């Protein structure tokens, strides 16, 4: 074999080495290409984040997550301008933020609004990095869709703003407590207590009360109640910032199912004026009842006096006149028949006048009420009512010998009288059944008719003075009156008075 010169051999060996290096580089590039393809395939199908590559301002690669989120197909994405997905108002800011991150001047993700194909706005947070792609520099971006978080935050802020508006619109003081310390307060605390809301944060509600003892007493009572139930309500004296004492209605509710952390909300309502008005109204009503009772007593006395004078004075005069008329008639000769007839007529007129007089003074004040008692008087009144109206009226008394306070007997008799008057005027009844029953503790009068039945409007009619009179008489004696009725089934008046 012919030997090559040394320099030729060296040249061949150098070329062979270059060929080996070239083959090695080709293998390395092929391996890198395979790895790159595997990486992008993984990014395309495996990532749950949005990933895309931008080169020359256009999309060169997007993964399936990005394709699904924005509504564009892969073919529509490739070659599309990268900023076309960014809301026009955010494009400048996005470009500046991306450049800062690529230069290493920014490390935190930036947030912007994107526009999907259907026009809906998507909120995203994004980071970018510079990478080689197909032999050239490109931008790798990954992002997360935070639309739901942004919407939730917005709704939460709106809800918090709404809650704050509602709290401030409440004229009462509303405070939130944690371990008896104020963690929030509305503007109503200034109206009720004279404090600014911001000045109360972190303070104890002791400043709302007059003393430590009252503060501890209210707290123990509220928490004890809310251990068993969600809410508690009470009325309690409080004190304003200026030292003025007020009456407050306190309503508390625990926050959450249990009271472990002692978190509660308390509402304080200033009821000082309402309490004063209520007291004044009660005093006025009490005075009115006393006045009514006094007037009724005076009227009964006047009736008794008038009835006595009619019976004793006018009755005696009519009796004497009738006697004189009879004696005069006996002295008239039989021949004067016309005078005898006139005398007889005068005697009848006197008898009629005496009957009318008797009816008048008995209606004013039955003498038997003073002499024979309530039982006989009610029986007599029932008989008179039946004779006058034609309505059957039966009375049952148990026991038959009821002995009551004279004034109470008068009140029950007048109640019975007024009830019968209402029946004759309005009920269109054919029968009445009454029962008077006394026990060791109460006396009860029940009157029931079979008329058309009293309506709700009639029971509460403001100018129904008969019913008002019954109620006032019963109230004066500390009793209860129930007036019930049903259409076509009559009306029942049930009076129960304690025996004192």
* DSSP track, 254-275: ESSSS-TT-EEEEEEEE-HHHH
Return the minimum-mean-pLDDT range out of 55-59, 290-294, 487-491: 290-294
Q: Are the CB atoms for 139 and 93 separated by under 8 Å? A: no
Q: In this model, does residue 288 exceed pLDDT 90?
A: no
Q: What's the pLDDT score for residue 7? A: 53
- Are 187 and 209 in contact by the 8 Å Cβ rule? The answer is no
Return the H-helix or E-strand segment holding 316: helix 315-331
Q: Which residue has the higher pLDDT, 154 or 168?
A: 154
DSSP label at residue 81: B
- Give the pLDDT of residue 22: 56
User: Of 133, 139, 59, 55, which is closest to residue 99 (Cα–Cα)?
Assistant: 139
User: Torsion angle of alpha carbons 402, 406, 409, 414, nearest 10°?
Assistant: 160
**pLDDT(163) > 70:** no
Helices (H) and strands (E) in the chain, counts: 16, 15
Residue 420 CA to residue 382 CA, distance in Å, equals 8
Of 371 and 118, which is predicted with more confidence?
Answer: 118
- Output b/e per residue, 381-400; b: 16+ Cβ within 10 A: bbebbbeeeebebebebeee
* 371 vs 307: CA distance, rounded Å: 14
> pLDDT at position 239, please?
94
296 vs 413: CA distance, rounded Å? 13
Q: Which own/partner pairs from 473-479 qualify as long-range (CB within 8 Å, at least 24 positions apart)?
A: 473/296, 473/411, 473/414, 473/415, 474/411, 474/415, 475/289, 476/289, 476/292, 476/293, 476/296, 476/411, 477/408, 477/411
Q: Do domains 47-151 and 170-270 have the same CATH topology?
A: yes
Look at the block and give the residue holding tokens 């909120």.
123
369 — pLDDT class (breaks 50, 70, 90): confident
Instruction: State percent of the chain over pLDDT 90.
Output: 29
Contacts of 12 (CB under 8 A, 6+ apart): 4
CATH 1.10.10.10 fits 170-270, yes or no: no
Residue 97 has pLDDT above 70, yes or no: yes
Average model confidence (pLDDT) across the chain: 83
Integer angstrom CA distances of residue 430 from 11, 39, 323, 435, 490: 146, 105, 42, 17, 10
Local confidence band at 158 (pLDDT 50, 70, 90 cut-offs): confident
Tell me how many degrees the CA angle 206-247-220 measures, rounded to the nearest 5. Answer: 40
pLDDT in tens, 315-324: 788 888 888 8
**Cβ distance 347 to 326 under 8 Å?**
yes
Tell me, what's the pLDDT at 196? 93
Q: Which residues pair with 442 in a beta bridge?
A: 498
Locate 498 and state its tokens. Answer: 């304690």
Q: Which of 202, 208, 167 is nearest to 183 (CA)?
A: 202
**59, 80 in Cβ contact below 8 A?**
yes
Architecture in CATH for domain 371-500: 2-Layer Sandwich (3.30)
Q: In whole angstroms, what separates CA 248 from the centre of its chain?
A: 18
Model confidence at 162, pLDDT cuts 50, 70, 90, reads: low
Q: Yes or no: say if 445 and 495 are a contact pair by the CB < 8 Å rule.
A: yes
Report the pLDDT averaged over residues 261-275.
Answer: 88
Per-residue confidence (pLDDT) for residue 440, from 0 to 100: 79
Lowest mean pLDDT among 60-69, 363-372, 405-414, 445-454: 363-372
Place 330 in a pLDDT band, splitting at 50, 70 and 90. confident
Residue 38's pLDDT band (boundaries 50, 70, 90)?
very low
Q: Is 380 helix (H, G, I), strand (E, B) or coil?
A: helix
Give the residue carrying structure tokens 């509660």: 264
* Across 401-414, average pLDDT: 85
Q: Average pLDDT of 305-332?
A: 81
pLDDT for 376 beyond 90 = no
**CA-based torsion, 90, 95, 99, 102: positive or negative:** positive
- pTM of the predicted protein model: 0.45
pLDDT value at residue 111: 92
The per-residue pLDDT for range 450-469, each reduced to its tens digit, is 999 888 788 777 667 778 88
Q: Which residues pair with residue 231 across a beta bridge?
A: 253
373 φ, ψ (degrees, to nearest 5): 100, 180
For the chain, domain boundaries: 47-151, 170-270, 280-365, 371-500
Map tokens 């009375």 to a residue: 395
> Quick check: helix, strand or coil at residue 6?
helix
State residue 43's pLDDT score. 47
Residue 307 in this model has a pLDDT that exceeds 50: yes
Q: Give the angle subtended at the CA of 217 by the CAs of 215 and 222, to the nearest 5°.
A: 95
Q: What's domain 47-151's architecture? A: 2-Layer Sandwich (3.30)
Q: How confident is the model at residue 18 (pLDDT cuts 50, 70, 90)?
A: low
Top-confidence residue, 212 or 159: 212
Q: Is it true that the peptide bond before 279 is cis, omega within 30 degrees of 0? A: no
Higher pLDDT, 470 or 161: 470
The better pLDDT of the pair 26, 336 is held by 336
Alpha-helical regions (H) of 103-200: 147-169, 188-193, 197-200
Count Cβ atoms within 10 A of the Cβ of residue 272 and give its class: 0-12 exposed, 13-18 middle, 19 or more buried: middle
d(CA 184, CA 174): 8
Structure-block tokens of residue 71: 């509504």
Residues counted in the chain: 500
The stretch 191-209 carries a mean pLDDT of 93
Closest CA to 246 of 290, 189, 186: 189
Task: Give the helix, strand, coil percentages of the chain, each rounded to 5.
Answer: 55, 25, 20
């Amino acid at each position: 074999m012919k030997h090559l010169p040394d320099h030729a051999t060296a040249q061949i060996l150098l070329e062979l080495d270059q060929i080996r290096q070239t083959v090695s580089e080709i293998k390395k590039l092929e391996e890198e290409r395979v790895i790159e393809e595997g990486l992008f395939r993984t990014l395309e199908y495996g990532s749950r984040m949005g990933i895309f590559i931008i080169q020359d301002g256009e999309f060169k690669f997007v993964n399936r997550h990005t394709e699904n989120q924005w509504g564009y197909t892969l073919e529509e994405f490739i070659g599309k301008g990268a900023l076309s997905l960014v809301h026009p108002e955010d494009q400048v800011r996005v470009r500046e933020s991306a450049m800062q991150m690529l230069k290493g001047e920014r490390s935190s993700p930036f947030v912007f609004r994107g526009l999907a194909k259907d026009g809906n706005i998507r909120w995203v947070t994004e980071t970018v990095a510079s990478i080689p792609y197909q032999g050239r520099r490109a931008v790798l971006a990954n992002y997360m869709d935070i639309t739901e978080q942004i919407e939730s935050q917005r709704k939460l802020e709106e809800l918090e703003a709404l809650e704050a508006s509602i709290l401030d619109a409440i004229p009462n003081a509303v405070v939130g407590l944690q371990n008896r310390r104020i963690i929030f307060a509305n503007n109503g605390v200034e109206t009720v207590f004279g404090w600014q809301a911001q000045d109360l944060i972190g303070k104890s509600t002791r400043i709302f009360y007059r003393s430590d003892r009252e503060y501890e007493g209210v707290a123990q009572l509220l928490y004890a109640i809310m251990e068993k139930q969600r809410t508690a309500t009470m009325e309690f004296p409080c004190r304003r910032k200026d030292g003025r004492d007020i009456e407050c209605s306190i309503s508390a509710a625990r926050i959450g199912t249990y009271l472990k952390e002692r978190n509660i909300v308390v509402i304080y309502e200033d009821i000082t004026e309402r309490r004063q008005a209520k007291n004044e109204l009660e005093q006025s009503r009490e005075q009115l009842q006393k006045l009514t009772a006094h007037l009724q007593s005076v009227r009964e006395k006047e009736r008794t006096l008038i009835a006595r004078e009619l019976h004793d004075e006018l009755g005696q005069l009519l009796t004497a006149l009738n006697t004189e008329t009879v004696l005069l008639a006996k002295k008239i000769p039989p021949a004067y028949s016309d005078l005898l007839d006139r005398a007889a007529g005068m005697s009848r007129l006197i008898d009629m006048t005496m009957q009318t007089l008797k009816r008048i003074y008995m209606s004013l004040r039955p003498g038997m009420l003073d002499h024979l008692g309530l039982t006989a008087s009610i029986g007599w009144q029932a008989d008179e009512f039946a004779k006058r109206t034609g309505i059957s009226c039966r009375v049952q008394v148990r026991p038959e010998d009821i002995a009551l306070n004279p004034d109470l007997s008068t009140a029950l008799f007048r109640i019975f009288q007024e009830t019968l008057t209402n029946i004759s005027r309005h009920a269109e009844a054919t029968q009445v059944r009454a029962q008077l029953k006394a026990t060791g503790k109460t006396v009860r009068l029940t009157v029931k008719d079979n008329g058309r039945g009293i309506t709700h409007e009639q029971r509460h009619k403001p100018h129904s003075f008969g019913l008002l009179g019954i109620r006032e008489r019963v109230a004066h004696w500390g009793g209860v009156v129930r007036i019930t009725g049903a259409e076509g089934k009559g009306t029942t008046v049930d009076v129960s008075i304690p025996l004192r």
